[in-house]
Structure 1
Amino acid sequence: MTNLKIAVVGIPGKWSTEVLADRLEALTGFRAVIDMADVTLAFDTQTVMHKGLDLSQLDGIIIKKISEVYSPEAEDRTRILSYLEASGVRVFSPSHTVAQMINRLSGTLALQQGKIPMPNTRITENTQEALKAVRLFGSAILKPLYSTKARGMQMIDDSWDDAQALAALEQFKTEQGLFYIQQTIELNGKDLGMVFLGGEYVCTYARVGAAGAWNTTIHSGGHYENYQPDEALIELGRRAQGCYDLSFTTVDIALTEEGPFIFEVSAFGGFKGAKEGCGIDVAKQYAEYVVDQLENKSR
């Protein structure tokens, strides 16, 4: 057993946070779950404290979840972790990458620069231009810049008249300020989550949507199944996650008649899809990977 001290930034009580902390404890004998809401950065003493634990004394931190929801405040939390990185604490995935990916627009820009195929997407603050995009796409999905598991997303159907569409757009702008508009993709009730650890392919699971749901998220009643991709699809997923500096991630892929499209690359990745869809304890693999990375660095 190693003597490394590795903590998990996450949501106390949540399965994915706790199972990762359990796997680390089994390897190191040390267990700490950090809720960023309880962290204090003191510049005068140059300490970052969490309930009496000096985080600068840790060997590493794994960010499983930076907050319950994505938000500009969640980005601020990554700045505190970047202070720890500068002091020598290794963070998985690096804080600058997590900050980039919490914001849907900055995450999309990286994929676009990597020439990764995505659904047609328009960004604008102008409501009339947003309406033009919706009409061009036929049906479209409005996506908040900060959201996960399809929360806050709204579909505008091609059967809506201009008055209905404008009302939805105006309400969205009031709430969000900027339009991120993506053409609706026919999923045929299923999309994929492709798991990578340290840039290496692990497995792929399918999210199968509930009857009548427009998205496949488990939050909306979907479930996981195993999926066996071909080498070309794995290579696409590898290219997509390679647009970022990630320790662990899940690449969301839609299979369409026009070919595969990447919806997004997760800042954190999920454990449950790999467990229920692929039968793999990826939390254990992640813990082992981090321990190996830190031990190799110290040699």
Structure 2
Amino acid sequence: MIEKRIAVIGTPGKWSTEVLADHLQRLTGFRCVVDMAEVVLELASGRLHYRDLVLNELDGVIIKKISEIYSPAADDRVRMLSQLEKDGVPCFSRPSQVGRLLNRLEGTAALARAGIPMPATRVTESTDAALGIVNQFGKAILKPLYSTKARGMVVLDASDGESANTDKLNAFKVEHGLFYLQQFAELGGQDLGMVFLGGEYLCTYARVGDAGAWNTTIHSGGKYRNYDAPPELIELGSKAQACFDLSMTTVDIALTEQGPVVFEVSAFGGFSGALKGCGIDAAEKLCHHALETLRTSA
């Protein structure tokens, strides 16, 4: 047993958070799940308090979940945790990198700058411009800047007519403001989650969509399957995740008629997909990675 105090930033009671805490308890004897809703940041000292614990005094933290729902408030929580990074507390992953991926625009803009193939994407506040983009694409996915598992996404089809699409755009703008439009990609019933740990390839799982659903997310009825990714696809995923310095991540890839495209890089990575699709306990591997990093940096 290695005597290190590593806390899990996550959602108490959620499987992905609790399994991390269980592994850490077995490996280190210490168990702590931190709910960011209860953390207090002391600005003068930069100390973060969670109940009777001072997070700045820990040996490290694993950030698994900032919030159940991505929002600007989740970004505020990352900014609070950035004080740990400033104080030299090892964070897996670093808050400065996690924050780049909470906002869809910042994350995908980094991929675009690196030349990563993605579906054609346009961003605007103009309803008229958005209508023109839908007509140009023929079919588009309207995405909130803050969301996961396809929540809040809207399919816009030029064949539905200008009036129907204007109504959808106006309703979306009331809640989200900015239009992030991506050309609809035919997934062929599945897309892929490519998992990386410490920048190294771990495995790939497929999300096979439920009949009738336009997306393949588990939230919409999709199922996990193993996928034997060829070297050129792994190279693409590796290039995408290298845009960010993350302890663990999943790269979402679709195989289209025009070739593979990357949808996004996850801020946290998918334990469930790796376990159910590939039989790999990525949570345990992340804990070992964190402990080995602490050992070699001591």
The two structures have a TM-score, normalised by structure 1, of: 0.98
Query: How far is the alpha carbon of 1:174 from its aligned partner?
Result: 1.3
> What's the secondary structure of 1:180's corresponding residue?
strand
Which amino acid is 1:54 matched to? Answer: V
Which amino acid is 1:103 matched to? N
Please, which moves more after superposition, 8-17 or 166-175? 166-175
* Whole-angstrom distance in 1 between the partners of 2:233 and 2:121: 22
SS in 2 for 1:69: coil
Please tell me whether residue 250 in structure 1 is matched to residue 245 in structure 2: no
The number of equivalent residue pairs is 298
* Structure 2 equivalent of residue 72 of structure 1: 72
Other-structure match for 2:263: 263
Inter-partner Cα distance in structure 1 for 2:163 and 2:226: 43
Structure 2 residue 121 is the aligned partner of structure 1 residue 133: no
2-structure distance, mates of 1:158, 1:189: 22
Q: Does 1:158 align with 2:119?
A: no
The answer for the alignment partner of 1:57 in structure 2 is 57
Unaligned regions of 5+ residues in structure 2, if any? none
Corresponding residue SS for 1:284: helix
For 1:184, the equivalent position in structure 2 comes to 184
CA distance, structure 2, for counterparts of residue 171 and residue 46 of structure 1: 41
Deviation digits for residues 21-50 of structure 1, max 9, x if unmatched? 111111111111000000001134542110
Partner residue, 2:219:
219
Q: Name the aligned partner's letter for residue 248 of structure 2.
A: F
Structure 1 residue 240, shift from structure 2 partner: 0.2
Please identify, of 247-256 and 48-57, the stretch whose mean Cα deviation from structure 2 is larger: 48-57
Where do 5+ consecutive residues of structure 1 fail to align?
none
Q: What letter corresponds to residue 128 of structure 2 in structure 1?
A: Q
Amino acid in the other structure paired with 1:35: D
Overall identity of the aligned pairs, in %: 60
Match of 2:30 in 1: 30
Matched, 1:21 2:21: yes
Q: CA deviation at 1:158?
A: 3.3
1:175 corresponding residue in structure 2: 175
Once the two structures are TM-superposed, the CA of residue 56 in structure 1 deviates from its matched residue by 1.0
Contact 2:34–2:50 (Cα < 8 Å) also in 1: yes
Q: Is this contact kept in 1: 2:205–2:273, CA < 8 A?
A: yes
The equivalent of 1:210 in structure 2 is 210
- Structure-2 separation of matches of 1:185 and 1:43: 46
Q: For 2:44 and 2:244, how far apart are their aligned partners in 1?
A: 34
Q: Distance in 1 between matches of 2:251 and 2:97?
A: 15
1:159 deviates by 2.4
What is the distance in 2 between the residues matched to 1:87 and 1:161? 55
C-alpha contact (below 8 Å) 2:191/2:208 kept by paired residues: yes
- Which amino acid is the alignment partner of residue 183 of structure 1? Q
Equivalent residue number for residue 109 of structure 2: 109
CA contact (8 A) 2:46 2:83 kept: no
